[in-house]
Amino acid sequence: MTFVLGSIILMRAIWNVYKFGEVYLLSRHVNVLSVYAYEKAFASYEHGLAAAITTSIFLMLLGFIILYIRKVLKW
């Protein structure tokens, strides 16, 4: 049961980090990294900065996943 609940919590955390559609449709003036990366990539055509932002989001999430698996799921 611990692994099932731990996996569900982990998947939910990943989905919440990359949530874009609801935030962008409700308010474009919210300071969220996914909306900021989108605006940098497609509104101001700074594709390099947007790629750096999304790469840093990915690396932070990867670090969280590794820490979560080692500490909570104890693999």
pLDDT in tens, 10-57: 899 888 888 888 888 888 777 888 888 988 999 999 999 999 999 999
Per-residue model confidence (pLDDT) at position 62: 94
What count of other Cβ atoms lies within 10 Å of the Cβ of residue 10? 16
Domain containing 65 equals: 2-73
Per-residue model confidence (pLDDT) at position 63: 94
* pTM score: 0.78
Q: Structural domain tally of the chain?
A: 1
Separation between Cα atoms, residue 24 and residue 22, nearest integer Å:
6
Measured CA distances, 66 to 4, 12, 19, 40 (Å): 17, 15, 21, 29
Per-residue model confidence (pLDDT) at position 49: 94
